[in-house]
Amino acid sequence: MAVVAQLAQGIRPVVDMIYPPRCPACGVALADQHGLCGECWASLDIPAAGAQEAGSTPIYAVTLYNDTSRKLVLAYKHGGRIALSRLLASMIAARLPATDSPPLLVPVPLHRWRLWHRGFNQAALLANELASLGKGDPCVDGLIRRKRTPSLGGLGREARDRALAGAIVLNAARADLMAGRDVILIDDVFTSGATSRACIAAIVQTRPASIAVACFARVDTDKRLTNR
């Protein structure tokens, strides 16, 4: 690992010359390839420390969904900026509590056709990065999305739940891994909670010790943000 770090440090000036560091949210020039500019850091809407609650499930969110976090999510998920996974995961890691034993990190799954179209599952990348930061053990195929679902934007809670009914199921081959473990469901954005509820309904079949959700951004339903 030390050799890899030395090599990375050695080629850094070349990388910076070819790809000048810029803030992934606003594009302003930076001194380093990783991170945000001071103005964008300040514009993130950081909630109070600790978990919020969705029903009885703890939600560990880095920031509320606003213009800055939206730009980061769109650049990451739809702009192909997968290098952002390290930055976003490090920010999520800072929100997670210390644990006596490593939790199981289970990403929200994508349907195979969406995975093929996008080329990656952003939640799985975050889970792997969190694991590399010592925040748990990844289980990237713990859940399966077995049917495509329509866009949930503009739907009420009951309509969202109907759209997701039967869409997300447990991977039976990973059920034993979840039994008795603390499980953290990983996603980039927590919106209405419908997708998380579908995932949790599948995970709870394994009788885990606990279930929590960790994400980069959480939509403040009181503000009714659109264009997600």
- The predicted-structure confidence for 177-189, as pLDDT tens digits, reads as follows 999 999 999 999 9
Percent of the chain with pLDDT over 90: 53
Q: What's the maximum distance between 2 C-alpha atoms anywhere in the chain?
A: 54
For the chain, domains (ranges, CATH) are 1-43 (no CATH), 45-218 (3.40.50)
Q: What does the pLDDT average to over 156-175?
A: 81
3-state SS, 2-68, equals HHHHHHHHHHHHHHHHHCCCECCCCCCECCCCCCCCHHHHHHCECCCCCCEEECCEEEEEEEECCHH
